[in-house]
Structure 1
């Protein structure tokens, strides 16, 4: 922790917060919602010690980075522009990108628009865009939300309602959702509640901290940032889903050209429910240079924290393979 350097820079029209450690080839780590740069805190020192310059940043709308109010500011050109702008600011032409959730989806978008600036991708949990060419994400969310509680519909159907509820209780929300997304709970049980349920009511009551993978102090990092920023920026990533869906349509069926490594987990809700049937079987069609697929047992969507040692070991293996390609 003492070797982390916190920096702030003007990137792509944002005041962006990022954390840096180490020297060598650049590795950029991108988080999802409702996380921050801190979700990678167990990987940063190990990757830096292996001879890399590690940078992890707060995504637009989250943590200590600017949060535009307009959901249209979370479309593909903006979120890809953040990654390219960060590369430019760091003075690097290329990087290895690793990500999870919304951070990873932005990386996938960058691979189609600027593959020449990417050495490789290490994807966690989300094997590709959750993309149905026939039906927009928010139309599907509305259908599901009419039948039972569905968080995407709750976030997007009545802008302001979800924001107010979550902003009023950041600690309760974060502790509940982190537990619900972990391998210690089956997240799909949240959907058993009726449509009118609020998210805080649908989420399970978590056990007292510390957990095996999260301490009180670690939770405090997330709570402090979201208590200051609020959750509207993160929710705007959901509200821009249809816009990004439209912008991605021209790449439908086009394999991702960047070398790709995948780390999933046995109990991840996204692999179970958001990527169609048997998503791992489709990877060879979705990536023209698929290098490895690894599944970590007994872990959920918070895998880089739940099983930090295993994730770090796999990432270091992939980085070593990139540095010393077989002949």
Structure 2
């Protein structure tokens, strides 16, 4: 069985989804620079196991609409898309799976609409309490010392133009740099003002052991068509997310949570605090499992597909016995 494709009107955007299988719904949320396609191996595995697996292109990515204003990329806005998707498939709840900014979105969804969340399976981006100041404050301080992609992404039009000049070269370099085959934080050795593509390492020629040429061509083809502005706007909305979550400052999602991460993931090493697992264990009340995947990096679902699928299916079996 291959995925089917259609569009859902969320009331905010026209959202493209790929879906495969029948049964309890499981909704996958990607990050940047990805589309819903990064989950295609998980869709196949879950549909074969009797689940309805759904991977939307989130706002600004793939075939989903890319709104113009930054406020339209907040987690609050995109959570509305996910709730509209649940309504569209006539489901009271779903299990949600997320990585990168898709993970941050799901942590917030668990706060805003816990009654619609059967459980969360989060990859690589652990929950952390709300910071005392907006994230952009800390990024600006770090970017005074070395290149930092988070700060580089902030000024509208700059990164957009640079990345669009060589989209395939950028994507191959950033996917490789984020993988377990490279130490991503080495990009911090570059000075402020460096272009992202120049801070990234040269990537080996495709195919790689964990990514085929055809898979890369599918991902790159979308960004060659759309550019990168939609995804970059997610980063530009992060301080706004901080403002909009003031009411949740001292709370954590109380839904069931399963967490899996790559041993060499850069978010775990450099962007999630000194003791991200201990922090998450201390504040997330229903954290049911934590799994480390040896040698894998940020795209752990592609780098270690079998391990992630096994973890997913085990988690789903507990949530839907």
SS of the residue 1:65 aligns to: coil
Task: State the Cα distance separating 1:283 from its structure 2 match.
Answer: 2.0
**Among candidates 165, 168, 171, match of residue 168 of structure 2:** 171
Q: Distance in 1 between matches of 2:106 and 2:296?
A: 23
Preserved CA contact (<8 Å) 1:133 1:249: no
Q: Distance in 1 between matches of 2:11 and 2:114?
A: 19
SS of the residue 1:126 aligns to: coil
Moved more, 20-29 or 85-94: 85-94
Q: Distance in 1 between matches of 2:11 and 2:120?
A: 22
Residue equivalent to 1:135: 133
Q: Distance in 1 between matches of 2:226 and 2:63?
A: 7
Q: Distance in 1 between matches of 2:2 and 2:225?
A: 25
Residue equivalent to 1:105: 104
Task: State the Cα distance separating 1:291 from its structure 2 match.
Answer: 0.8
SS of the residue 1:8 aligns to: strand
**Among candidates 193, 199, 211, match of residue 208 of structure 2:** 211
Preserved CA contact (<8 Å) 2:187 2:200: yes
Q: Distance in 2 between matches of 1:145 and 1:104?
A: 24
Q: Distance in 1 between matches of 2:76 and 2:141?
A: 28
Preserved CA contact (<8 Å) 1:120 1:260: yes
Q: Distance in 1 between matches of 2:215 and 2:114?
A: 35
TM-score normalised by L of structure 1: 0.96
SS of the residue 1:17 aligns to: strand
Q: Distance in 2 between matches of 1:309 and 1:284?
A: 25
Q: Distance in 1 between matches of 2:11 and 2:264?
A: 36
Residue equivalent to 1:45: 44
Q: Distance in 1 between matches of 2:43 and 2:183?
A: 29
Task: State the Cα distance separating 1:284 from its structure 2 match.
Answer: 2.5
Q: Distance in 1 between matches of 2:11 and 2:141?
A: 35
Structure 1 segments unaligned to the other structure (5+ residues): none
Structure 2 segments unaligned to the other structure (5+ residues): none
Preserved CA contact (<8 Å) 1:255 1:285: no
Moved more, 22-31 or 102-111: 102-111
Q: Distance in 2 between matches of 1:10 and 1:314?
A: 32
- 1:1-327 to structure 2, matched below 5 A, reads 3-129=2-128, 133-156=131-154, 158-324=155-321
Q: Distance in 1 between matches of 2:318 and 2:260?
A: 15
Moved more, 118-127 or 2-11: 2-11
Task: State the Cα distance separating 1:286 from its structure 2 match.
Answer: 2.4
Q: Distance in 1 between matches of 2:131 and 2:56?
A: 31
Q: Distance in 1 between matches of 2:133 and 2:200?
A: 27
Moved more, 257-266 or 132-141: 132-141
Judged with a 3 Å threshold, the aligned counterparts in structure 2 of structure 1 residues 85 and 302 are, in CA distance, closer, same or farther, namely: same
Task: State the Cα distance separating 1:215 from its structure 2 match.
Answer: 1.2
Q: Distance in 2 between matches of 1:14 and 1:255?
A: 28
Preserved CA contact (<8 Å) 2:130 2:249: no
Moved more, 281-290 or 195-204: 281-290
Aligned-residue CA RMSD in angstroms? Answer: 1.1
Deviation per CA, 1:54-101, whole angstroms, max 9, x where unpaired? 101101011111111211111232011111111111221110111101
Preserved CA contact (<8 Å) 1:155 1:162: yes
Q: Distance in 2 between matches of 1:3 and 1:40?
A: 13
Task: State the Cα distance separating 1:115 from its structure 2 match.
Answer: 0.5
Preserved CA contact (<8 Å) 1:69 1:232: no
